């Protein structure tokens, strides 16, 4: 008697979005762009991504944080301490309609950490734009992503696992492209839009409202 309807995206998120206005604005052309969308808090673990950017695999990477949040100032301080401040961009809040152009500029879309009860909307938006996603392998994320198929998952309890995941994706353009294509196809194929979700809910309601055969 329980029906689960996954999160979705607006129809505008399904459209392929031109990233060039964002890449031009922030000078991202030709660079490996790591991206995070949201209201960054300490527990999101974005600081671990900054530390990876000092490693050999991350020395050419740029981190674009689309949003703001209570962790923003500490992240700026950490980026300066690590010597990567010139490769760390915080956009501040942007209109939701503009978020997709920013996501389209990502090479690797990040969910470094997540609470065990959340179903982050950013995942579906990353997927709709065909991005390669790096996220922790835990039950709520496994409801949306499958490792090696439509996302790249790491053990959140293992030391260095996030960095290893970043290494695996940063150095493999074809893997990123394959993951991104599969992620987008999952959203499109499952019709994970708000319109599609409404239709699913209506279909469930119709089955529940069907009169019970009193003779049975």
pTM value is: 0.93
Percentage above 90 pLDDT, the chain? 88
pLDDT of residue 11: 86
Q: Which two tokens stand for residue 121?
A: 């909307």
The closest alpha carbon to 51, from 89, 72, 78, belongs to 78
pLDDT of residue 28: 97
Mean pLDDT across the chain: 94
The predicted structure's pLDDT at residue 1: 81
pLDDT digits 0-9 by tens, 33-54: 999 999 999 999 999 999 999 9
State the average pLDDT over residues 157-175.
97
- pLDDT of the residue at 210: 77
Give mean pLDDT, residues 91-112: 96
Nearest Cα neighbor of 162 from 36, 5, 77 is 36
SS3 of 109-151? EECCCCCCCCCCHHHHHHHHCCCEEEEECCHHHHCCCCECCCE
pLDDT at 213 over 60: no
pLDDT for position 12 = 86
């Amino acid at each position: 008697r329980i029906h689960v309807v996954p999160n979705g995206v607006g129809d505008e998120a399904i459209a392929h979005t031109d990233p060039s206005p964002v890449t031009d604005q922030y000078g991202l052309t030709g660079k490996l762009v790591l991206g995070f969308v949201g209201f960054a808090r300490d527990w999101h673990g974005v600081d671990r991504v900054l530390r990876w950017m000092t490693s050999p695999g991350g020395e050419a990477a740029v981190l674009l944080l689309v949003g703001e949040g209570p962790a923003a100032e500490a992240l700026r301080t950490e980026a300066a301490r690590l010597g990567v401040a010139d490769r760390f961009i915080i956009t501040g809040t942007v209109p939701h309609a503009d978020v997709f152009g920013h996501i389209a500029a990502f090479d690797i879309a990040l969910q470094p950490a997540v609470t065990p009860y959340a179903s982050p909307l950013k995942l579906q938006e990353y997927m709709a734009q065909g991005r390669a996603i790096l996220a922790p392998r835990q039950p709520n994320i496994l409801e949306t992503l499958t490792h090696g198929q439509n996302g790249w998952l790491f053990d959140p309890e293992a030391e260095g696992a996030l960095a290893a995941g970043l290494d695996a994706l940063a150095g493999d353009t074809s893997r990123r492209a394959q993951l991104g294509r599969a992620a987008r196809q999952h959203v499109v194929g499952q019709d994970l839009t708000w319109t599609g979700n409404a239709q699913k809910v209506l279909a469930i309601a119709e089955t529940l409202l069907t009169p019970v055969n009193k003779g049975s």
